[in-house]
Amino acid sequence: MHVREIIEALIFSANGSLPAEDILKAVPGANAGDLDSYVSELNRMYEETDRSFRIERVSDGYQYVTREAYAPYLKLLHTPVRLSMPSLEVLAVVAYKGPCSKQAIDSIRGVDSTSSLKSLLKHRLIDIKHGKPLLYHTTTRFLEVFGLDALADLPDLKQFEEVFREEPQGVPGEEG
């Protein structure tokens, strides 16, 4: 067996992102540089043979992802996670300000966030750090879903402030 194929099998068998440290434990003598090299080599092979997928580094590990061109077909079979605007607001607060309490989230938003928190917990995008008070934080699944290696990869909030300052008030085609 070739180390490259062992790495491929490990990532393929994972449910979600497989941490690099787990791969390195299973492949004696390999290091992080080797791992990146083997993943690059696998991706080159997939590209050359016009495969519908590739391996991407996500969160603290690697996972298979489908190429964008195949998204319309996947949408016919799989229902993507749909989040309401309030849930997205809560998720943004937790991602940028977390870990934080429900009281802090409610204070920032100015409304009760119970329903949104339940939805985000159900989708495993956030989790609870137990203690007093309970603190909400993003999960590895959040990083995977949004294609991030770490929370530090989130866009800078200052970028949003600039965009919103430049946008005209109101949205074309909307009344009221």
CATH 1.10.10.10 fits 3-75, yes or no: yes
In this predicted structure, what is the pLDDT of residue 32? 86
Per-domain boundaries in the chain: 3-75, 85-166
> Which CATH architecture best describes the domain 85-166?
Orthogonal Bundle (1.10)
Strands (E), the chain: 18-19, 53-58, 61-66, 126-129, 135-138
Mean pLDDT by runs of 10 across the 176 residues of the chain is: 91 90 90 92 96 90 91 81 89 93 94 94 92 92 85 80 59 47
Q: What is the pLDDT of residues 73-115, one digit of tens each?
A: 888 887 777 889 999 999 999 999 989 999 999 999 999 999 9
In this predicted structure, what is the pLDDT of residue 28? 81
Question: How many helices and strands, by DSSP H and E, does the chain display?
Answer: 9, 5
Nearest to 139 by CA among 130, 129, 151, 126: 126
